Each structure stands twice: as C-alpha cells, then as structure tokens.
Amino acid sequence: MFFKNQKLNLLSNQIKICKKCRLWKFRKNAVPGEGPANARLMIIGEAPGASEDESGRPFIGKAGKFLNKLLEKNKIDRKKIFITNVVKCRPPKNRVPEDDEINICAKNYLEKQIELIKPKMILLLGNTAVKTFFASFELSEHHGKIIKTAKRLYAFTYHPSAARFTKIRKKIEKDFENIFELVK
Ligand code: URA
Ligand code: SF4
C-alpha cells in the first residue's frame, strides 16, 4: 500500500515536469489526477480545461461541478475515486487531443496509473476516453453499458461538458444511475 502510494506520487511528479509531447508548451499546470492509490473506481475524462490548468486539479470547473452532482446523486464518495484524464496537459483552446499526444501521454502515465491502482471498474467519460480504450466503440451504442474484460469492468457515458445539451444531460444522468445500479 505504502509503496503503491509512493509510486503514484512519483508518477505525478514526473507528469508535472513532463515535456514528452507538444502540449507542455501551453500548460500552466499539468493535471496528474487525484484520489487514493487503492481506489476501486477510476474515472477518466479527456484533458484538463481552463480551471484545471489553473489549479492542477482534475474536474473542478463547470464539468467537474456537474460530475460532483452525478456522484452525489448516486451516493458515490468522490474522495474514494481516482479521477484523471487521458492527457494531462490542457490542449490550446480546449481542442481535442491529437492521436500522437494521446498515445504518448497514455502510454507513459495513464497506463501506469491503472497498473498501480488496479481499479475494479473504469468509467470512461466522452469519446476521447472511450476511443483510447476501445477504438471501434461508438458512444451512441455503448453509453450506459458495462463490459467485462479479463482484468476489470469498463463503463461508458458522454462527457459531462456535453451536459449543456439537455438531451445529453438526461442521458448522462440515466447512464450514471444504470451503471451504479448494476455494480451496487
Ligand atoms: N474535462 C475533462 O475532460 N477533464 C477535466 O479534468 C475537466 C474537464
Ligand atoms: Fe507530458 Fe502528457 Fe503533458 Fe504531453 S500531455 S507534456 S505527454 S504530461
């Protein structure tokens, strides 16, 4: 447990000074992610936005506030989850991260975080996160579902920033209910 924590902190420290892809040039702060090393659930978004870049913390802006509401509604304690993103630095103007940025960042950091934490379930938020793990999956087909692989469960829904569209917000709310109902 102790060692796992240390390794996770070491990774965070490496992320904070990383220059492995072009995104380092645009960041104020890299956002490694946060949560306990023994988290059973990991939530993975796309990339830091403006508030996250300012603070170095994941999901604390508008999308983060909506995520907090979803977690509260489903009686999930945010402090027990490890929350992070596919890429750890904010892309300029919040553009979608490019394939090479995703490959470099996820190989070096996200994959290692997952290996250390070994979560029982990973909840993927939005297309970028989904495609990173399941290249051929369409969210329109898989949102709200849970699939089981040899290592763990994966669940899928839209990105909370898409909640500005009422239709999608309702889908996300229902997906969270379904997903956490199924794993209770
Ligand atoms: N959107 C994301 O994908 N991640 C964050 O941390 C914040 C907003
Ligand atoms: Fe490094 Fe990832 Fe930031 Fe690119 S996005 S500089 S790989 S931490």
Is the whole-model pTM more than 0.75?
A: yes
Mutate to test the pocket of ligand 2, among 20, 52, 85 (most ligand atoms within 8 A of CB): 20
The one-letter amino acid code at 6 reads Q
The one-letter amino acid code at 101 reads E
Cβ < 6 A, ligand 1 pocket? 45-49, 52, 58-59, 61, 63-64, 85, 161
- What is the whole-number distance in angstroms between the Cα of residue 85 and the centre of ligand 2? 11
R_g of the chain computed on alpha carbons: 15
Distance CA 66, CA 108 (A): 29
pLDDT at position 97, please? 98
* CATH for the 2-182 domain, from 3.30.70.360, 2.40.128.20, 3.40.470.10, 3.10.20.30: 3.40.470.10
Provide the Cα torsion 45, 49, 53, 55; round to 10°: -80
User: CB of 26 closer than 6 A to ligand 2?
Assistant: no
pLDDT at position 32, please? 98
Q: Give Cα separations from 62 to 81, 113, 139, 175 (angstroms).
A: 19, 25, 22, 19
Mutate to test the pocket of ligand 1, among 23, 51, 52, 78 (most ligand atoms within 8 A of CB): 52
- What is the whole-number distance in angstroms between the Cα of residue 100 and the centre of ligand 2? 11
pLDDT at position 1, please? 60
pLDDT at position 2, please? 64
- What is the whole-number distance in angstroms between the Cα of residue 108 and the centre of ligand 2? 9
| Positions in the chain whose pLDDT score sits under 50 | none
Domain residues of the chain, as ranges? Answer: 2-182
pLDDT at position 182, please? 83
- What is the whole-number distance in angstroms between the Cα of residue 82 and the centre of ligand 1? 13
